[in-house]
A and B are shown apart, each in its own frame.
Chain A
Amino acid sequence: MAEFFHMGGYAFYVWMSFGISALVLLVNFLQPLLKHRQALREAEDYYSEV
């Protein structure tokens, strides 16, 4: 297992690559979730006032 994480001495480069990619894609996933929820709340406020 330790050997797996060591990546033949390239651990920093390999895990940084996968880590940064995961982070960027996670942000892309969360952003529309939050935006959708926000838009739905705004729509509900809008129609409860009308």
Chain B
Amino acid sequence: MNIIAKWYYRLGAPNWFYPLAGKMIPWVAAIFVALLIPGLYMGLVTAPADYQQGESFRIMYVHVPAAWLSMFVYAAMAIAAVVALVWRVRMAEIMIISSAPIGASFAFIALITGSLWGKPMWGAWWVWDARLTSELILFFIYLGIFALYNAIEDKQTAGKAMSILTLVGVINLPIIHYSVVWWNTLHQAATVSKFDTPSIHIDMLIPLLLMAAAFQFLYLLLLLMKMRANLLEQDLASGWVKKIVFERQKNLKK
């Protein structure tokens, strides 16, 4: 790769991405709220109580979307890791490091709400079954990725190391998904992603899908915000930040 193309990759992309993300943020936030409000209302109020679990099953409406997203975020990071390693696109590394704390938060929420659901229904806050353990491992992988990037001073080396770790950890995703099929677990099997009809009543399913879509947009919103902040912080001395600062000052003077 010649030196010009390299500098283009390194500096050209943020200059284009930063204002675009800024324009997208309010729209993404609006869609998130538009999905969240009916999702919460239907999930907490209009969905009927479960025949076995009563009202406690409503924990599902945060637990399941958070668990799905904890895996979705990782899958997105793994794709970005391939792009970062093969094409050396720095923006992919920024995407990974910005996603890691969001994914960790979703995994954390899935674990905590699962615990709050498990205590009244199963009779235990926590058990070391394959599903719960593999989700806990996912949480620690997220922390590991975040810690590794921040521990290495040179961000080019840090980005490469982090991408490799992200790829190594992707093996955990099929393990989490199939853990309830491969092994005896206390956790029940999949409800929605089965090939036959979902074993959930339609009035309970609709709020679940709304909440899952809301979480999806929340991830996009948080990702855009974090990427902008990380880019600005890392590129302090580069041309595109200089341009933004001067334009801002010009607008303030007006």
B is a partner of A: yes
Chain A residues at the B interface, C-beta cutoff of 8 Å: 4, 7-10, 13-14, 16-18, 20-21, 24-25, 27-29, 31-33, 35-36, 38-40, 42-44, 46-47
- Name B114's closest neighbour in chain A (CB-CB): A17
**CB distance A33 to B54 under 8 Å?**
no
Shortest distance between the CB of B205 and any CB in chain A (Å): 19
Shortest distance between the CB of B63 and any CB in chain A (Å): 7
Known: A13-B116, A14-B59, A16-B116. A21 touches B237 (CB 8 A): no
CB neighbours of A18 from chain B (8 A): 44, 62
**CB distance B242 to A28 under 8 Å?**
no
Chain B residues at the A interface, C-beta cutoff of 8 Å: 44-45, 49, 54-56, 58-59, 62-63, 66, 101-102, 105, 108-109, 112-113, 116-117, 119-120, 218, 221-222, 225-226, 228-230, 232-233, 236-237, 241-242, 244-246, 248-249
Shortest distance between the CB of A10 and any CB in chain B (Å): 4
**CB distance A17 to B116 under 8 Å?**
yes
Taking A35-B226, A42-B233, A43-B232 as given, write out 8 further A-B residue pairs in contact, using a Cβ cutoff of 8 Å, ordered by the A residue number: A7-B58, A8-B49, A9-B55, A10-B120, A32-B225, A32-B226, A32-B229, A38-B233
Known: A24-B109, A43-B236. A13 touches B225 (CB 8 A): no
Residue from the set A9, A13, A16, A33 with the largest chain B CB neighbour count within 10 Å? A13
Q: Give the total number of A-B pairs whose CB atoms are below 8 A apart.
A: 98
**CB distance A39 to B233 under 8 Å?**
yes
CB neighbours of B246 from chain A (8 A): 47
CB neighbours of A38 from chain B (8 A): 233
Partner pick for A47 among B113, B228, B245, CB 8 A cutoff = B245
Known: A13-B117, A32-B226. A44 touches B249 (CB 8 A): yes
**CB distance B101 to A28 under 8 Å?**
yes
**CB distance B105 to A25 under 8 Å?**
yes
Shortest distance between the CB of A1 and any CB in chain B (Å): 11
Shortest distance between the CB of A34 and any CB in chain B (Å): 8
